[in-house]
């Protein structure tokens, strides 16, 4: 079924707003992902403040040409969806989590990060960055480790003096 001109304009404006307002956008190929899983993924993303928009590649290419994003645009193969939100890393991270669950049905094919195009490898690297709370925990553990080892060493010295 053909999409009307008014509907195309509406989709164009939605995609343009998403690209302009979001600090990062992940381009996703969802070929082979059943409707039930797509719906479940949309709901899970929405709960985390992330949007998922399916659009025709020609419309997305026009938006990207008008947006002024620097770099080389990735190749859009198969079906295309845009995943975006207010967080810089969350869109890629959440899609990557679903990519692990639904192997061969959904994959990141590129994206926009801080105003530049990123290829699949770069967006996957971004997706693997731990959340802020995990990074805080790792930092605290890093700071605590030398102190903890010093206390253990003092405990061992105290045990030797008791004997």
Q: What pTM was computed for the model?
A: 0.78
The answer to whether residues 85 and 136 belong to one domain is no
Contact 74, 120 (CB under 8 A): yes
Shared domain check, 83 and 116 = yes
Q: Do residues 101 and 53 share a domain?
A: yes
- Residues 35 and 106 both lie in one domain: yes
What's the average pLDDT block by block, 10 residues per block, for the chain (163 residues)?
Answer: 82 91 92 88 92 91 89 87 91 91 88 91 90 87 83 83 70
Strand partners, 85: 24, 50
Task: Note whether 125 and 136 are same-domain residues.
Answer: no
Q: For 110-128, how does the pLDDT look when each residue is reduced to its tens digit (9 = 90+)?
A: 999 988 999 999 999 999 9
Q: Are residues 124 and 141 in the same domain?
A: no
Q: Say whether both 115 and 142 belong to one domain.
A: no
Owning domain of residue 66: 5-129
Q: Describe the crossing of helices 57-67 and 5-21 by its angle, rounded to 10 degrees.
A: 50
């Amino acid at each position: 079924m053909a999409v009307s001109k008014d509907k195309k304009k509406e989709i164009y404006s939605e995609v343009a707003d998403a690209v302009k307002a979001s600090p990062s956008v992940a381009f996703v190929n969802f070929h082979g992902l059943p409707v039930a899983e797509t719906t479940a993924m949309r709901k899970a993303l929405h709960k985390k403040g992330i949007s998922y928009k399916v659009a025709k590649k020609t419309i997305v290419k026009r938006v990207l040409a008008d947006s002024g994003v620097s770099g080389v645009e990735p190749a859009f193969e198969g079906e295309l969806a845009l995943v975006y939100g207010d967080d810089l890393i969350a869109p890629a991270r959440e899609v990557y989590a679903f990519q692990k669950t639904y192997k061969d049905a959904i994959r990141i094919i590129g994206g926009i990060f801080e105003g530049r195009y990123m290829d699949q490898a770069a967006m996957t690297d971004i997706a693997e960055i731990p959340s802020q709370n995990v990074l805080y925990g790792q930092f605290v553990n890093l700071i605590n480790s030398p102190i903890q080892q010093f206390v253990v060493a003092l405990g061992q010295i105290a045990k030797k003096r008791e004997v």
